[in-house]
Structures are given as structure tokens and as C-alpha cells.
């Protein structure tokens, strides 16, 4: 009995350190994880009414979910395949709004970066700095981003979006912090297909 307890204790202590470093599915954003069915958290009606078309290609859908149950973020973007009636989550992005306060967003991004760096010790860090957002043809809207890339091609990201004041103001155009977990498949689509 004592030997069995000792083995369980060792597994509890050691396994999270290994899996947390290499598998984004072990992490949650507002209680949801990659690979979950979004139906475990919201009704089909809530999901369908929250779908937004942000991309030219529609292989994946994005649902902007809001809930009084959320504790950390103002909202969560959940991404899943277009034809998937189980709504299996391929991407989760926690969103916090920083209306006219991009400097506070940058400070929070830096704070989260330091925490993720401790957790994702085996990930490759890709600091992309600041670049123009592809949907703003003026080039004035900027994204500042850091990625943690895993051997599996999945990744975590931290981004601040500094939207140009010249754009028509919508909720989407409010300066935001976005902390995300994405599968490699979704990441490839976002980079190479979504905006084409």
C-alpha cells in the first residue's frame, strides 16, 4: 500500500512537469482546453450565434464567447473546423480589452511572457516584435507578438493589438491583449490560408 502511494505521488509530482512543458492540451483558458468539445461549455445555439467571419477562407470558424463565469478574460475566441458538429476546439484565445491603453497591454504581455517562459521550458521562443496587421491596408494597426513553439507544431502566443484610430471602431478594433493556445494545423491555416 505504501509503495503504491509512493509511485502515485512520484507520478503526480513529475508528470505535470513533463507534459506541461510539451503539450498545450494540459492548459486551460477559462476552464476550456484544446481538444475539448465547445458543447461541453456552451449550447449549440450560443456557439452558432457567436460565430464571426474574420477570415477570407472558412476552413475554421471562430466563435467569440462571453460569459459572466469568465474570471480572467473579457472574452474567449474558440476556433474549430467548419464541418465539425462536435465543435472540437483547435484554438483558444483569451481576450482582454485595453481601450486607448496599449501601454498597459504591453506591460501585461511582458508579465505573462515571464510566466510562460517558466512553464514552457522546452518550447522555442519566437519574438516577432511589432508588425502591421494584415487586415489594415493603411499599415497603421500594429501587432506585437511572442510565440512559444512546441515540437508537435502546436504553440502558445501572447499578442497586443494596437488598432489605428483611422479604422472604423468596432469591438474587434479595440486595443486588446490576446493569450492563445493553438494546434499546429490551425496555426498553419492562420499563417498561410486564412487571409488569402
| pLDDT, tens digit (0-9, with 9 covering 90-100), for 105-148 | 999 999 999 999 998 988 999 999 887 876 767 778 899 999 99
pLDDT tens, position by position, 39-90: 999 999 999 999 998 888 899 999 999 999 999 999 999 999 999 999 999 9
| Contact in structure between 146 and 124 (CB atoms under 8 Å) | no
Sign of CA dihedral 32, 38, 41, 47: positive
- List residues bridging with 149 in a β-sheet: 124, 155
pLDDT at 138: 73
Domain map of the chain by residue range? 2-192
Q: What is the pTM of this model?
A: 0.81
Half-sphere exposure of residue 128: CA atoms within 13 angstroms, side-chain side: 16
In angstroms, rounded to a whole number, what is the distance separating the alpha carbons of residues 145 and 180?
11
Residues contacting 115, CB < 8 A, separation 6+: none
pLDDT of residue 47: 97
Is residue 30 a contact partner of residue 70, using CB atoms and an 8 Å limit?
yes
C-alpha cell at 186: 490551425
What values do phi and psi take at 190, rounded to 5?
Answer: -60, -40
Residue 92 CB neighbours (<10 A): 25
> Which of 29, 47, 55, 52 is closest to 171 using CA atoms?
52
- Please determine, for residue 10, whether its predicted confidence score (pLDDT) is greater than 70: no
Question: Which residue's C-alpha cell is 486551460?
Answer: 28
In the prediction, which pLDDT does 17 show?
Answer: 35
Which 8-state DSSP code applies to residue 37?
B
**25-29, 76-80, 94-98, 161-165: the lowest-pLDDT one:** 161-165
pLDDT value, residue 170? 53
On whether the CB atoms of residues 143 and 154 are closer than 8 A, the answer is no
What the block records as the C-alpha cell of 41 is 461549455
Amino acid at each position: 500500500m505504501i509503495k503504491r502511494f509512493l509511485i502515485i505521488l512520484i507520478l503526480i509530482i513529475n508528470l505535470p512537469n513533463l507534459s506541461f512543458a510539451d503539450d498545450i492540451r494540459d492548459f486551460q483558458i477559462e476552464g476550456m482546453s484544446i481538444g475539448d468539445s465547445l458543447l461541453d461549455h456552451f449550447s449549440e445555439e450560443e456557439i452558432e450565434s457567436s460565430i464571426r467571419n474574420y477570415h477570407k477562407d472558412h476552413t475554421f470558424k471562430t466563435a467569440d464567447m462571453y460569459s459572466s463565469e469568465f474570471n480572467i478574460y473579457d472574452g474567449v475566441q474558440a476556433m474549430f473546423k467548419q464541418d465539425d458538429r462536435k465543435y472540437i476546439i483547435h484554438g483558444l484565445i483569451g481576450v482582454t480589452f485595453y481601450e486607448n491603453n496599449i501601454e498597459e497591454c504591453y506591460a501585461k504581455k511582458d508579465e505573462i511572457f515571464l510566466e510562460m517562459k517558466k512553464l514552457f521550458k522546452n518550447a522555442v521562443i519566437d519574438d516577432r516584435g511589432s508588425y502591421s496587421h494584415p487586415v489594415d491596408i493603411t499599415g497603421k494597426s500594429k501587432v506585437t507578438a511572442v510565440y512559444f513553439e512546441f515540437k508537435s507544431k502546436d504553440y502558445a502566443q501572447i499578442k497586443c493589438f494596437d488598432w489605428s484610430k483611422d479604422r472604423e471602431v468596432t469591438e474587434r478594433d479595440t486595443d486588446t491583449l490576446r493569450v492563445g493556445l493553438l494546434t499546429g494545423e490551425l496555426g498553419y491555416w492562420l499563417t498561410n490560408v486564412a487571409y488569402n
